[in-house]
């Protein structure tokens, strides 16, 4: 069996170098990861999920123009002093929940946009010879038990590599990395292949990879070859597929939860509605508003 098989996962990579052009003009001046879902930036959801899974070191792969992201994770002394002065304990508490331990976050620059695989590879020295998690903050997952925590628990049983997976409509599979299933065991799926954005006619299944991964250092080694794949980019999927060919220790994991594609406008709006309705302080007013809107639209038809 492969070394490092059951080492604890304490490091996570957050690829956040993308330009976020789908959200122009907003992303002219703010990184996509700072865009807010209800009242928290997208990145906070991914960080909270990672923390819940026991992650201690957070590696951001950034690019030019992402300084707002670094500032977000800094202390905010002026706001804090003002809140203290006014005795606003609730708001101070909200701020405190975003505090990160000193030295827990590292920022690495991806100098050129060569793909997700390349972004992950940029973090190789910080990851070292350990299993690591990758979280794509565009994929926001609402779940009773956070998705990465479910995966870390599964990983403690299986070792190896685990990728989050979910069934998508057949005609949507070509927007994802898609799994070729060897054996379907329910929530765990043993995998015999993985393809990035296959043509609809060539997709091996409709089980798509969602942006949560637990990977072995061997996958990082495969990334080292930096071979371009789908779209001319260096793909993480290809390095995982290489690991399947070599060692057969890759699993798909059907997580329990609802995934929102916050990389698309429709997905972002859906997430906003779902997370808004999940909030005790907003639900009643928001629900009433949504009912009213729907009724108005029906009446106008
Ligand atoms: C990336 C991965 C893809 C995965 C998807 C999940 O694609 O390359 O394998 O299915 O995230 O969101 P992207 O959406 O960045 O094109």
Q: Is 262 in the pocket of ligand 1 (CB under 6 A)?
A: no
Residue 226 confidence (pLDDT):
77
The pTM assigned to this predicted structure is 0.94
Residue 141 confidence (pLDDT):
97
3-state secondary structure of 248: coil
Q: In ligand 1, which atom is closest to the CA atom of 177?
A: 9
pLDDT tens-digit profile of 116-134? 999 999 999 999 999 999 9
| Residue pair 254/141 in contact by the 8 Å Cβ criterion | no
pLDDT tens-digit profile of 130-165? 999 999 999 999 999 999 999 999 999 999 999 999
CATH number belonging to the domain at 2-263, selected among 3.20.20.70, 3.40.50.11540, 3.90.79.10, 3.90.550.10: 3.90.550.10
Give the residue whose CA is nearest to atom 14 of ligand 1. 176
Q: How confident is the model at residue 2 (pLDDT cuts 50, 70, 90)?
A: very low
Ranking 7-16, 28-37, 188-197, 292-301 by mean pLDDT, the lowest is 292-301
Give the residue whose CA is nearest to atom 13 of ligand 1. 176
CA separation (Å) from 56 to 90, 286, 297?
Answer: 26, 36, 48
Expressed in angstroms and rounded, the spacing between residue 112 Cα and the centre of ligand 1 is 18
Residue 4 confidence (pLDDT):
44
Q: In ligand 1, which atom is closest to the CA atom of 138?
A: 12
pLDDT tens-digit profile of 43-59? 999 999 999 999 999 99
3-state secondary structure of 27: helix
Q: Could you write out the DSSP letters of every residue in 91-119?
A: HHHHHHTT---TT-EEEEE--S---HHHH
Residue 3 confidence (pLDDT):
46
Expressed in angstroms and rounded, the spacing between residue 67 Cα and the centre of ligand 1 is 24
Res. 1: pLDDT tops 60: no
d(C-alpha 101, C-alpha 248), whole Å: 37
Q: In ligand 1, which atom is closest to the CA atom of 176?
A: 10
- Listed residue (53, 41, 54) closest to 145, CA to CA: 53
Q: How confident is the model at residue 6 (pLDDT cuts 50, 70, 90)?
A: low
Res. 5: pLDDT tops 90: no
3-state secondary structure of 75: coil
The set of residues, in sequence order, having a beta carbon less than 8 Å from that of 296 and lying 6+ positions away, is: none
């Amino acid at each position: 069996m492969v070394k490092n098989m059951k080492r604890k996962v304490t490091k996570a990579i957050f690829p956040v170098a993308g330009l976020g052009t789908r959200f122009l003009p907003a992303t002219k001046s703010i990184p996509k990861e700072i865009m807010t879902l209800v009242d928290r930036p997208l990145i906070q959801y991914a960080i909270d999920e990672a923390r819940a899974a026991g992650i201690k070191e957070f590696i951001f792969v950034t690019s030019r123009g992402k300084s707002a992201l670094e500032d977000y994770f800094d202390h905010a002394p002026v706001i804090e002093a003002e809140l203290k002065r006014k005795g606003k304990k609730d708001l101070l508490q909200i701020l405190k929940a975003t505090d990160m331990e000193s030295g827990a976050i590292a920022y690495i620059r991806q100098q050129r946009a060569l793909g997700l695989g390349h972004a992950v590879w940029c973090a190789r020295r910080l990851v070292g010879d350990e299993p690591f998690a990758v979280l794509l903050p565009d994929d926001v997952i609402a779940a009773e038990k956070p998705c990465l925590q479910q995966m870390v628990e599964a990983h403690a049983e299986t070792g190896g590599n685990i990728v989050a997976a979910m069934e998508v409509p057949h005609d949507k599979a070509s927007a994802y990395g898609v799994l070729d299933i060897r054996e379907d065991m329910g929530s765990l799926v043993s995998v015999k292949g993985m393809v990035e954005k296959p043509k609809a006619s060539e997709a091996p299944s409709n089980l798509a990879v969602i942006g949560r991964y637990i990977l072995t250092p061997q996958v990082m080694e495969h990334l080292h070859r930096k071979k371009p794949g789908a779209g001319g980019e260096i793909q993480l999927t290809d390095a995982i597929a290489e690991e399947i060919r070599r060692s057969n220790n890759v699993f798909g994991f059907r997580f329990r939860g609802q995934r929102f594609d916050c990389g698309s406008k429709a997905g972002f709006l859906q997430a906003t509605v779902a997370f808004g309705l999940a909030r005790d302080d907003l639900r009643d007013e928001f629900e009433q508003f949504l009912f009213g809107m729907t009724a108005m639209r029906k009446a106008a038809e």
